[in-house]
Amino acid sequence: MSTPIETLRQGAAALGTALSDAQAEQLLAYGTLMLKWNKVYNLTALRDPASVLTHHLLDSLAAVAPLQREWAGKGKLLDVGSGGGLPGVVIAVLRPDLEVSCLDAVAKKAAFVQQVAAELELPNLRGLHARVESLTGSYEVISSRAFASLPDFFNGSRHLLASGGVWLAMKGKMPTDELAALPQGIAVFHVEQLTVPGLDAERCIVWARQDAA
């Protein structure tokens, strides 16, 4: 049997991302915190470390290599409807060059992310309690994972997307109906199929930007 750290590193490598020892330990510590505080904060329906590793950590790690390709430089990332910090916390661990804000309308979940930032010593991570529609600011990347329909996600956050910025929407199977109902002014430029090690489910990333027109 491989250890959790080996499973995590092998899975990350299969997703095109090399984890340092420190990063692997931080990610596993995050998974442990999630299970430890789950009763208080209602963070996940999962109850055991192995499923948290595949369904949360590796599933979020699947976005890291694509994000590196689409946004390699510094910037600010807003993770909308982040819940307990997915994929925002995982991105913050792997991308110290990005300032990651995990936004949730539930105060307890934003508080949990703040606690994770403190315990894992991640100065580039913070939890934000607000509704996306009422938030102000400007972000180069706006991400979400199973947060809302694509039209709702794009409409709700378009006032926050920096000029030249990108949306990264993690979805399950190809959201054909949602793609057909996109708001005006939104250009989807890539729908990327993902295969997550240990997860027998369809996954994709929908990449979009504001239409230049």
Q: Do the domain assignments include residue 18?
A: no
The order of strands in the sheet holding 161-171 is 125-129, 98-104, 75-80, 139-145, 161-171, 203-210, 186-194
Question: Structural domain tally of the chain?
Answer: 1
15-43 pLDDT, tens digit per residue, is 999 999 999 999 999 999 999 999 889 89
71-124 pLDDT, tens digit per residue, is 999 999 999 999 999 999 999 999 999 999 999 999 999 999 999 999 999 999
* Domain of residue 188, CATH code: 3.40.50.150
What CA–CA distance (Å, rounded) separates 110 from 30? Answer: 14
184-205 pLDDT, tens digit per residue, is 999 999 999 999 999 999 999 9
Pure H helices in 37-161 = 38-41, 49-52, 59-61, 64-70, 88-94, 107-119, 150-157
pTM of this structure: 0.97
Q: Do the domain assignments include residue 27?
A: no
Q: Do the domain assignments include residue 24?
A: no
Q: Do the domain assignments include residue 92?
A: yes
Domain encompassing residue 174 = 61-210
Q: Do the domain assignments include residue 14?
A: no
User: What pLDDT score was predicted for residue 213?
Assistant: 60
